[in-house]
Structure 1
Amino acid sequence: MYEPIRTKSVHSTVARTPSDFPHRSREEELDIQLAGHLAALLAVTDELRALAPSAELDVAAERLAGQLTRLRGASPSRAGVAAAASSTPRLDALHQRAHALAGRALVVAASRADTAAAILSAERMDAHAVTAVA
Protein backbone atom coordinates (compact mmCIF):
# COMPACT_ATOMS: atom_id res chain seq x y z
CA MET A 1 0.00 0.00 0.00
CA TYR A 2 2.84 2.42 0.83
CA GLU A 3 6.06 2.67 -1.04
CA PRO A 4 9.19 2.60 1.15
CA ILE A 5 11.35 5.75 1.34
CA ARG A 6 14.32 5.42 -0.97
CA THR A 7 16.13 8.70 -0.40
CA LYS A 8 18.06 10.06 2.55
CA SER A 9 16.27 12.34 4.94
CA VAL A 10 16.80 16.07 4.53
CA HIS A 11 16.57 16.42 8.31
CA SER A 12 20.08 15.82 9.56
CA THR A 13 19.06 15.37 13.20
CA VAL A 14 16.60 12.65 12.28
CA ALA A 15 19.09 10.91 10.01
CA ARG A 16 21.79 11.25 12.70
CA THR A 17 24.33 12.67 10.29
CA PRO A 18 26.42 15.75 11.00
CA SER A 19 24.95 18.91 9.57
CA ASP A 20 26.65 21.06 6.99
CA PHE A 21 25.91 24.35 8.71
CA PRO A 22 27.52 25.73 11.86
CA HIS A 23 25.55 25.74 15.08
CA ARG A 24 25.78 28.35 17.80
CA SER A 25 25.25 27.71 21.44
CA ARG A 26 22.44 29.39 23.36
CA GLU A 27 25.00 31.65 25.03
CA GLU A 28 26.39 32.75 21.66
CA GLU A 29 22.89 33.51 20.38
CA LEU A 30 22.11 35.54 23.50
CA ASP A 31 25.41 37.43 23.14
CA ILE A 32 24.50 38.31 19.55
CA GLN A 33 21.00 39.44 20.55
CA LEU A 34 22.28 41.50 23.47
CA ALA A 35 24.95 43.15 21.35
CA GLY A 36 22.32 44.00 18.73
CA HIS A 37 19.98 45.60 21.24
CA LEU A 38 22.80 47.55 22.88
CA ALA A 39 24.09 48.71 19.48
CA ALA A 40 20.62 49.97 18.55
CA LEU A 41 20.34 51.69 21.94
CA LEU A 42 23.75 53.30 21.38
CA ALA A 43 22.62 54.59 17.97
CA VAL A 44 19.48 56.14 19.47
CA THR A 45 21.53 57.58 22.34
CA ASP A 46 23.94 59.17 19.85
CA GLU A 47 20.99 60.65 17.98
CA LEU A 48 19.59 62.04 21.22
CA ARG A 49 23.01 63.50 22.05
CA ALA A 50 23.01 65.31 18.71
CA LEU A 51 19.53 66.76 19.28
CA ALA A 52 19.84 67.56 22.98
CA PRO A 53 23.44 67.30 24.22
CA SER A 54 23.94 66.41 27.86
CA ALA A 55 26.71 65.02 30.03
CA GLU A 56 24.40 62.21 31.20
CA LEU A 57 23.88 61.01 27.62
CA ASP A 58 27.62 61.24 26.96
CA VAL A 59 28.35 58.98 29.94
CA ALA A 60 25.59 56.57 28.90
CA ALA A 61 26.97 56.37 25.35
CA GLU A 62 30.46 55.58 26.65
CA ARG A 63 29.13 52.88 28.97
CA LEU A 64 27.10 51.34 26.14
CA ALA A 65 30.16 51.38 23.88
CA GLY A 66 32.15 49.68 26.65
CA GLN A 67 29.58 46.89 26.95
CA LEU A 68 29.57 46.42 23.18
CA THR A 69 33.35 46.21 23.15
CA ARG A 70 33.20 43.56 25.87
CA LEU A 71 30.57 41.51 24.01
CA ARG A 72 31.97 41.80 20.50
CA GLY A 73 35.66 42.01 21.28
CA ALA A 74 36.00 45.18 19.22
CA SER A 75 34.87 48.75 19.65
CA PRO A 76 31.56 49.59 17.96
CA SER A 77 31.52 51.63 14.78
CA ARG A 78 29.61 54.81 15.40
CA ALA A 79 28.32 57.14 12.75
CA GLY A 80 28.58 60.80 13.51
CA VAL A 81 25.18 62.41 13.78
CA ALA A 82 24.96 66.02 12.70
CA ALA A 83 23.34 68.41 15.11
CA ALA A 84 19.80 69.29 14.08
CA ALA A 85 17.07 71.49 15.40
CA SER A 86 15.43 69.66 18.26
CA SER A 87 11.71 69.16 18.21
CA THR A 88 9.82 67.91 21.23
CA PRO A 89 7.79 65.23 19.37
CA ARG A 90 10.98 63.81 17.82
CA LEU A 91 12.80 63.80 21.16
CA ASP A 92 9.84 62.08 22.82
CA ALA A 93 9.76 59.45 20.08
CA LEU A 94 13.49 58.82 20.46
CA HIS A 95 13.17 58.49 24.23
CA GLN A 96 10.32 56.01 23.79
CA ARG A 97 12.39 54.01 21.29
CA ALA A 98 15.40 54.05 23.63
CA HIS A 99 13.18 52.92 26.51
CA ALA A 100 11.89 49.98 24.45
CA LEU A 101 15.38 48.99 23.30
CA ALA A 102 16.71 49.15 26.85
CA GLY A 103 13.85 46.90 27.94
CA ARG A 104 14.71 44.34 25.28
CA ALA A 105 18.37 44.48 26.27
CA LEU A 106 17.39 43.99 29.90
CA VAL A 107 15.40 40.84 29.09
CA VAL A 108 18.28 39.31 27.14
CA ALA A 109 20.87 40.37 29.73
CA ALA A 110 18.80 38.72 32.44
CA SER A 111 18.50 35.55 30.32
CA ARG A 112 22.25 35.27 30.01
CA ALA A 113 22.87 36.37 33.63
CA ASP A 114 24.94 39.39 32.56
CA THR A 115 24.70 41.62 35.61
CA ALA A 116 26.63 44.58 34.18
CA ALA A 117 24.53 44.76 31.02
CA ALA A 118 21.31 44.25 33.00
CA ILE A 119 22.14 47.10 35.38
CA LEU A 120 23.07 49.42 32.52
CA SER A 121 19.89 48.52 30.62
CA ALA A 122 17.70 49.09 33.68
CA GLU A 123 19.35 52.47 34.30
CA ARG A 124 18.76 53.48 30.67
CA MET A 125 15.12 52.37 30.91
CA ASP A 126 14.66 54.55 33.99
CA ALA A 127 16.40 57.54 32.40
CA HIS A 128 14.34 57.37 29.19
CA ALA A 129 11.07 56.75 31.04
CA VAL A 130 11.57 59.87 33.15
CA THR A 131 12.62 61.96 30.16
CA ALA A 132 9.79 60.78 27.94
CA VAL A 133 7.19 61.68 30.58
CA ALA A 134 8.68 65.06 31.52
Structure 2
Amino acid sequence: MYEPIRTKSVHRTMAGTASDFPHRSREEELDIQLAGHLAALLAVTDELRGLTPSADLETAGERLAEQVARLRGGRPPLRATPSAAGDPAALHRRAHALAGRALVVAASRADTAAAILAAERMDAHARAGSDPKELSSTP
Protein backbone atom coordinates (compact mmCIF):
# COMPACT_ATOMS: atom_id res chain seq x y z
CA MET A 1 0.00 0.00 0.00
CA TYR A 2 2.84 2.43 0.81
CA GLU A 3 5.98 2.84 -1.23
CA PRO A 4 9.07 1.89 0.76
CA ILE A 5 11.55 4.60 1.73
CA ARG A 6 14.44 4.47 -0.71
CA THR A 7 16.80 6.97 0.88
CA LYS A 8 18.21 7.32 4.34
CA SER A 9 16.56 9.79 6.64
CA VAL A 10 18.21 13.15 7.05
CA HIS A 11 17.44 12.92 10.75
CA ARG A 12 19.56 10.70 12.91
CA THR A 13 17.57 9.63 15.89
CA MET A 14 19.58 6.66 17.06
CA ALA A 15 21.41 7.19 20.32
CA GLY A 16 25.14 7.44 20.01
CA THR A 17 25.28 8.65 16.43
CA ALA A 18 27.14 11.83 15.68
CA SER A 19 25.29 14.67 14.08
CA ASP A 20 26.25 15.82 10.60
CA PHE A 21 25.38 19.46 11.27
CA PRO A 22 27.03 21.85 13.72
CA HIS A 23 25.33 22.85 16.93
CA ARG A 24 25.92 26.07 18.79
CA SER A 25 26.09 26.25 22.53
CA ARG A 26 23.74 28.42 24.55
CA GLU A 27 26.58 30.89 25.12
CA GLU A 28 27.23 31.15 21.38
CA GLU A 29 23.54 31.76 20.71
CA LEU A 30 23.43 34.46 23.38
CA ASP A 31 26.56 36.06 21.91
CA ILE A 32 24.88 36.18 18.50
CA GLN A 33 21.68 37.66 19.96
CA LEU A 34 23.54 40.24 22.02
CA ALA A 35 25.74 41.28 19.11
CA GLY A 36 22.62 41.66 16.96
CA HIS A 37 20.80 43.84 19.48
CA LEU A 38 23.87 45.99 20.04
CA ALA A 39 24.48 46.33 16.29
CA ALA A 40 20.87 47.44 15.80
CA LEU A 41 21.27 49.92 18.66
CA LEU A 42 24.47 51.17 17.00
CA ALA A 43 22.60 51.75 13.72
CA VAL A 44 19.90 53.80 15.50
CA THR A 45 22.60 55.69 17.41
CA ASP A 46 24.30 56.55 14.12
CA GLU A 47 20.96 57.80 12.75
CA LEU A 48 20.46 59.96 15.83
CA ARG A 49 23.99 61.33 15.45
CA GLY A 50 23.02 62.56 11.98
CA LEU A 51 19.92 64.32 13.30
CA THR A 52 21.19 65.64 16.61
CA PRO A 53 25.00 65.46 16.77
CA SER A 54 26.38 65.23 20.28
CA ALA A 55 29.49 64.01 22.07
CA ASP A 56 27.34 61.55 24.05
CA LEU A 57 26.07 59.86 20.89
CA GLU A 58 29.57 59.81 19.41
CA THR A 59 30.99 58.13 22.52
CA ALA A 60 28.05 55.72 22.70
CA GLY A 61 28.60 54.75 19.07
CA GLU A 62 32.26 53.99 19.69
CA ARG A 63 31.51 51.93 22.80
CA LEU A 64 28.75 50.00 21.05
CA ALA A 65 31.06 49.26 18.10
CA GLU A 66 33.71 47.95 20.52
CA GLN A 67 31.23 45.61 22.20
CA VAL A 68 29.87 44.30 18.90
CA ALA A 69 33.41 43.65 17.64
CA ARG A 70 34.26 41.82 20.87
CA LEU A 71 31.19 39.60 20.59
CA ARG A 72 31.88 38.89 16.92
CA GLY A 73 35.43 37.76 17.46
CA GLY A 74 37.09 41.03 16.53
CA ARG A 75 35.11 41.79 13.37
CA PRO A 76 34.06 45.45 13.49
CA PRO A 77 30.41 46.22 12.73
CA LEU A 78 29.29 48.19 9.72
CA ARG A 79 28.37 51.73 10.63
CA ALA A 80 25.26 53.41 9.28
CA THR A 81 25.65 56.61 7.33
CA PRO A 82 23.57 59.15 9.21
CA SER A 83 20.76 60.72 7.22
CA ALA A 84 19.24 64.12 7.73
CA ALA A 85 15.69 62.78 7.77
CA GLY A 86 13.82 61.08 10.55
CA ASP A 87 11.94 61.59 13.76
CA PRO A 88 14.32 61.87 16.71
CA ALA A 89 11.57 60.99 19.21
CA ALA A 90 10.77 57.77 17.36
CA LEU A 91 14.46 56.92 17.08
CA HIS A 92 14.93 57.46 20.83
CA ARG A 93 12.00 55.15 21.55
CA ARG A 94 13.45 52.52 19.19
CA ALA A 95 16.90 52.87 20.76
CA HIS A 96 15.40 52.54 24.24
CA ALA A 97 13.64 49.31 23.25
CA LEU A 98 16.78 47.88 21.63
CA ALA A 99 18.88 48.77 24.66
CA GLY A 100 16.31 46.99 26.85
CA ARG A 101 16.55 43.85 24.74
CA ALA A 102 20.34 44.00 24.86
CA LEU A 103 20.20 44.40 28.63
CA VAL A 104 18.04 41.29 29.03
CA VAL A 105 20.39 39.17 26.90
CA ALA A 106 23.51 40.62 28.54
CA ALA A 107 22.10 39.81 31.98
CA SER A 108 21.24 36.29 30.86
CA ARG A 109 24.75 35.89 29.49
CA ALA A 110 26.30 37.49 32.62
CA ASP A 111 28.14 40.03 30.45
CA THR A 112 28.69 42.92 32.83
CA ALA A 113 30.28 45.32 30.33
CA ALA A 114 27.47 44.95 27.81
CA ALA A 115 24.80 45.12 30.55
CA ILE A 116 26.22 48.37 31.92
CA LEU A 117 26.43 49.89 28.45
CA ALA A 118 22.87 48.83 27.62
CA ALA A 119 21.54 50.23 30.90
CA GLU A 120 23.35 53.53 30.32
CA ARG A 121 21.88 53.79 26.82
CA MET A 122 18.39 53.01 28.14
CA ASP A 123 18.73 55.84 30.66
CA ALA A 124 20.06 58.26 28.05
CA HIS A 125 17.25 57.52 25.60
CA ALA A 126 14.61 57.65 28.34
CA ARG A 127 15.90 61.11 29.35
CA ALA A 128 15.91 62.25 25.73
CA GLY A 129 12.36 60.98 25.27
CA SER A 130 11.08 62.81 28.34
CA ASP A 131 12.76 66.16 27.49
CA PRO A 132 10.97 67.72 24.53
CA LYS A 133 13.64 70.46 24.20
CA GLU A 134 16.31 67.85 23.66
CA LEU A 135 14.35 66.33 20.79
CA SER A 136 13.29 69.49 19.00
CA SER A 137 15.44 71.14 16.37
CA THR A 138 14.48 74.64 17.50
CA PRO A 139 16.42 76.35 20.30
TM-score normalised to the size of structure 1?
0.85
Q: Is the 8 A contact 2:31 2:71 kept in 1?
A: yes
Q: CA RMSD in A?
A: 1.9
Q: Which residue of 2 aligns with 1:96?
A: 93
For each residue in 1:10-44, what CA deviation from the matched residue of structure 2 results, as whole angstroms up to 9, or x when unmatched? 542x3222222110000000000000000000000
Regions of 4+ moved over 3 Å: 7-11
Shift of the alpha carbon at 1:132? 0.9
| Greater helix fraction, Structure 1 or Structure 2 | 1
Q: Secondary structure at the match of 1:15?
A: coil
Task: Give me the identity figure in percent.
Answer: 75
Residue 131 (structure 1) aligned to one of 108, 128, 132: 128
| 5+ residue gaps, structure 2 | 1-6, 132-139
Q: Which residue of 2 aligns with 1:23?
A: 23
Q: Is the 8 A contact 1:9 1:15 kept in 2?
A: no
For each residue in 1:51-98, what CA deviation from the matched residue of structure 2 results, as whole angstroms up to 9, or x when unmatched? 00011100100100111111111111113223x15x6xx111000000
Equivalent pairs, count: 125
Q: Is the 8 A contact 2:42 2:64 kept in 1?
A: yes
Q: Which residue of 2 aligns with 1:105?
A: 102
TM-score normalised to the size of structure 2?
0.82
| 5+ residue gaps, structure 1 | 1-6
Q: Is 2:81 the partner of 1:80?
A: yes
